Structure 1
């Protein structure tokens, strides 16, 4: 059984250090290459059976990534595939040169340029692995162009050749893979939006890194991880105690909606409903109260005084914010609801701010006051809202994850930076990525559903036994954001499979949340 950590995310420098430790401890480079290539070959055989995909092309670069590709080619020949190799580099590392010479000895066809390859069914991209730092040029760039222009399945080893390991950006040009087999540990590129057009379907291929080899490098740096099903199972508020009741599984207050944006309050409530929170109260403008009651009959609905523009002017004095396990504030409020946002900021209740809650926070210029709150805060901006809150961080950081980490450290809040690869940062430096998303979420209302979902989870985790300590509440806020983002993405992916990426509106998305969770957990 592999000891590799299935969720750790590493930089190129960290991966070099981990592998270097293995080699110093006595692991021969050649032995590791054989092991890795054997697992890659097994994956290829399972995914692309010989009777349907008999012709394999392998493009081998000058380094050990090229050596991996050559060993894979050799193993596939042994399994009866018709294999050809392209070796465009003029100089090779010694071990890679040995494997190329042995491939020629076995009678494998070797050509110099990718344009010379005969028609193939699957191509193995072994030009460059992790650690590439300069743009691809010359014969290597020609090979990338030929691969991208040929069509057909392309399987990249470790990373699509040409991608920066940490930022996911193409260095001049890069292979557009249909599958990428990430070796050992997830590289940071797999969690960056810039890489999505290149990696295709990502797969982790472990090679049994001993846990102490990983910890020797990563133990003193902030943890960076990629959400997995195992991660989510540990953090879901399931199973519930048999003797529980509605007051023990969280009471969420939603502060949402205005006359121009009445639907936002409803969509947020639908997300909260799906979360399983025990009690739900909505604070909305008085003019929306009866409409909300009609659509969300199980909720308590509080009508608030409103401005001439139909926004909440202030929260009623009768609304005791300390009664609630958590507050979610912002969807559809409009920027005229400053009084409501200030009131929830001053509360001692765990708080999620989204949408106009974030815009008002930016207008007030009080982002640093979040560090003084007695309870945790969760901020869920998209990139535009993030730039208003933290004007320079996205430009200064190398990627969205680093920007979220800097924002969390500055604000003392859990920061969820929404996008195709969502980044969630804790003030202590911990960073989680949720890269499983879908373009179906690029639609108005999907963020409102997410706010309600995370808010409901936050209320449940905050109400749980033992959650009242500050550190526990802070961890509960991170857990709620992580589970909510993952669950939201899974619901959207399931809805898109049934309805296409064009058919996932906010209401449909909310309806898929509970069925997809039941399906995944089963």
Structure 2
């Protein structure tokens, strides 16, 4: 059941989608039937979202995306809309199912050069879909620029033309759509920026592609939804106690920079850790004591005191970095936690501390994973793009790598789960699994929100959730907490929204 639910969240590459189509056709569903069903979904979206759109332009490209446009134009024509189709190549040059769809369309059709967006109430973009591999240029690029400058709304087929299905990148220029209709499953480009912003509202339509094809394809990239990790979360039991839910530790910085650690600690407690302790340098103990209530406090002045604390094996998840300060102490503490068998969330200053010797961190992470004996990563990294560059400068600067590619390569190198943050946060594991997040609001771009995320991750780790699922769940919860609060959000508001997030999870069931 859990596997089937996760497959509902699968994101498919162009090759994987092609294989799903091939398997479906091989099982007895003709390709033209899939195209006709796709066209019906497009037409239904147009008629439902734009009931007043009488004059509709359909832009048809040279492949199956263009075939979908021809078939949708025929349906809308029968529905009484005033439809005109504009083709990039003459219909007689089309092949396969696209040629059949063009032959079945008996409405007006003209070359693309005759298209003027201002003359229509709605435009259907069927020029290029997810398979576009080179930048738009020439006549098509100029047309897209004119279309974007017009006030006419656009519904894109599969993906807005000019958006890479693999990376979400703009290839030269790209259509800015109000809505996008795709089929069977999304592609990474629907969620990765800037593709996500170009897509508008995305509708995923079931056109009869075999869901069992996913078992053969075995995708490893997913939209970050509860179906991906809910079955691995710990649920408090009636007969349980706080020690069942783990003991998280957050390292505090000096007296003048304690707030970030307290945000992480509060979030860890709200997110389900049974106990949370802050390890504080001596000079910050009184400051922290004045602000902490349910979060406990222990002095941790140096590596000797840390070693003594780590003798308590009940301490099982750690956050290091928020407000801590970059340098030798952070490096020593991180390596000590990993060597002692703790699961570590490294953020902010903790990440920056290893910029001159990232391999030391990666070696410690590999050793910790090997010591566990189950290949489960002991390290979770939560960098924003600047921090990512400090640990992985070559990956960050490599041309042609998507954000998804970058996170996956970094996770494999670091033997860690990598949470590459942003509006399109990517969570990647060393084994190649990845999730792209879609929860949250622009108000999350505020000081301290990343510290809260670190605490939520640590809470899931403390309760025994595997590292990839813990990080993915935390990112989703973090975004949902922002959505629950709304405008005016600051980081201090996020932990208080987590009860609503958990209530929503419980209400939706398994």
What TM-score, normalized by structure 2, do the two folds share?
Answer: 0.88
| Residue 491 of structure 2 corresponds to residue 506 of structure 1 | yes
Q: How many angstroms does 1:363 deviate by?
A: 4.1
| Residue 349 of structure 2 corresponds to residue 347 of structure 1 | no
Match of 2:431, SS state, is coil
Match of 1:282, SS state, is strand
Q: How many angstroms does 1:9 deviate by?
A: 1.8
Give the one of 477, 480, 499 matched to 1:490: 480
* 8 Å Cα contact 1:281/1:299 also seen in 2: yes
* 8 Å Cα contact 2:339/2:364 also seen in 1: no
* 8 Å Cα contact 1:444/1:506 also seen in 2: yes
Match of 2:353, SS state, is helix
Q: Distance in 1 between matches of 2:168 and 2:256?
A: 40
Q: How many angstroms does 1:122 deviate by?
A: 2.9
User: 1:263-302 deviations in whole A, cap 9, x for unaligned?
Assistant: 1112112221220211111112233333333433011111
Q: How many angstroms does 1:100 deviate by?
A: 4.1
Q: How many angstroms does 1:232 deviate by?
A: 4.4
In structure 1, the residue matched to 2:180 is 180
Q: Distance in 1 between matches of 2:295 and 2:342?
A: 20
Instruction: Evaluate the alpha carbon distance shift between residue 360 and residue 116 of structure 1 in structure 2; reply closer, same or farther with a 3 A threshold.
Output: closer
Instruction: Evaluate the alpha carbon distance shift between residue 383 and residue 61 of structure 1 in structure 2; reply closer, same or farther with a 3 A threshold.
Output: same
Q: Distance in 1 between matches of 2:152 and 2:496?
A: 37
| Residue 254 of structure 2 corresponds to residue 258 of structure 1 | yes
In structure 2, the residue matched to 1:233 is 230
* 8 Å Cα contact 1:163/1:170 also seen in 2: yes
Q: Distance in 1 between matches of 2:84 and 2:154?
A: 14
Match of 1:162, SS state, is coil
| Residue 143 of structure 2 corresponds to residue 158 of structure 1 | no
Q: How many angstroms does 1:341 deviate by?
A: 2.8
In structure 2, the residue matched to 1:466 is none
Q: Distance in 2 between matches of 1:208 and 1:243?
A: 46
Q: Distance in 1 between matches of 2:348 and 2:340?
A: 19
In structure 1, the residue matched to 2:320 is 329
In structure 2, the residue matched to 1:357 is 350
Q: Distance in 2 between matches of 1:287 and 1:251?
A: 24
Match of 1:130, SS state, is coil
Q: How many angstroms does 1:442 deviate by?
A: 2.2
In structure 1, the residue matched to 2:281 is 285
* 8 Å Cα contact 1:4/1:185 also seen in 2: no
Instruction: Evaluate the alpha carbon distance shift between residue 99 and residue 489 of structure 1 in structure 2; reply closer, same or farther with a 3 A threshold.
Output: same
Give the one of 404, 414, 436 matched to 2:417: 414
Q: Distance in 2 between matches of 1:213 and 1:202?
A: 22
Comparing 509-518 with 274-283, greater Cα deviation is found at 509-518
Comparing 124-133 with 54-63, greater Cα deviation is found at 54-63
User: 1:19-61 deviations in whole A, cap 9, x for unaligned?
Assistant: 233334443221110111112222333333x2x4444332222
Instruction: Evaluate the alpha carbon distance shift between residue 418 and residue 118 of structure 1 in structure 2; reply closer, same or farther with a 3 A threshold.
Output: closer
Q: How many angstroms does 1:210 deviate by?
A: 1.8
In structure 2, the residue matched to 1:467 is none
In the TM superposition, what are the counterparts of 1:10-29 in structure 2 within 5 Å? 10-29=12-31
In structure 1, the residue matched to 2:379 is 377
In the TM superposition, what are the counterparts of 1:396-411 in structure 2 within 5 Å? 396=398, 398-411=401-414
In the TM superposition, what are the counterparts of 1:192-341 in structure 2 within 5 Å? 192-216=192-216, 218-219=217-218, 223-238=220-235, 240-305=236-301, 315=306, 317-318=308-309, 320-336=311-327, 337-338=329-330, 339-341=332-334
User: 1:104-147 deviations in whole A, cap 9, x for unaligned?
Assistant: x3x55757446435643332111111211122233322331232
Comparing 202-211 with 444-453, greater Cα deviation is found at 202-211
Q: How many angstroms does 1:487 deviate by?
A: 0.9
* 8 Å Cα contact 1:287/1:303 also seen in 2: no
Q: How many angstroms does 1:78 deviate by?
A: 3.0
Match of 1:361, SS state, is coil
Match of 1:32, SS state, is helix
| Residue 391 of structure 2 corresponds to residue 389 of structure 1 | yes
* 8 Å Cα contact 2:418/2:428 also seen in 1: yes
Match of 1:368, SS state, is helix
Q: Distance in 1 between matches of 2:404 and 2:437?
A: 11
Q: Distance in 1 between matches of 2:178 and 2:112?
A: 24
RMSD: 2.7
User: 1:78-110 deviations in whole A, cap 9, x for unaligned?
Assistant: 33434333324345414445544543x3x5575
| Residue 66 of structure 2 corresponds to residue 71 of structure 1 | no
Q: Distance in 2 between matches of 1:193 and 1:112?
A: 28
The alignment covers a number of residue pairs equal to 490
Unaligned runs of at least 5 residues, structure 1? 307-311, 463-475
Q: How many angstroms does 1:150 deviate by?
A: 1.3
Instruction: Evaluate the alpha carbon distance shift between residue 234 and residue 319 of structure 1 in structure 2; reply closer, same or farther with a 3 A threshold.
Output: closer
Q: How many angstroms does 1:351 deviate by?
A: 1.7
* 8 Å Cα contact 1:4/1:209 also seen in 2: no
* 8 Å Cα contact 2:247/2:277 also seen in 1: yes
Q: How many angstroms does 1:202 deviate by?
A: 2.6
Instruction: Evaluate the alpha carbon distance shift between residue 59 and residue 393 of structure 1 in structure 2; reply closer, same or farther with a 3 A threshold.
Output: same
In structure 1, the residue matched to 2:375 is none
Comparing 388-397 with 64-73, greater Cα deviation is found at 388-397
Q: Distance in 1 between matches of 2:411 and 2:405?
A: 10
* 8 Å Cα contact 2:269/2:295 also seen in 1: no
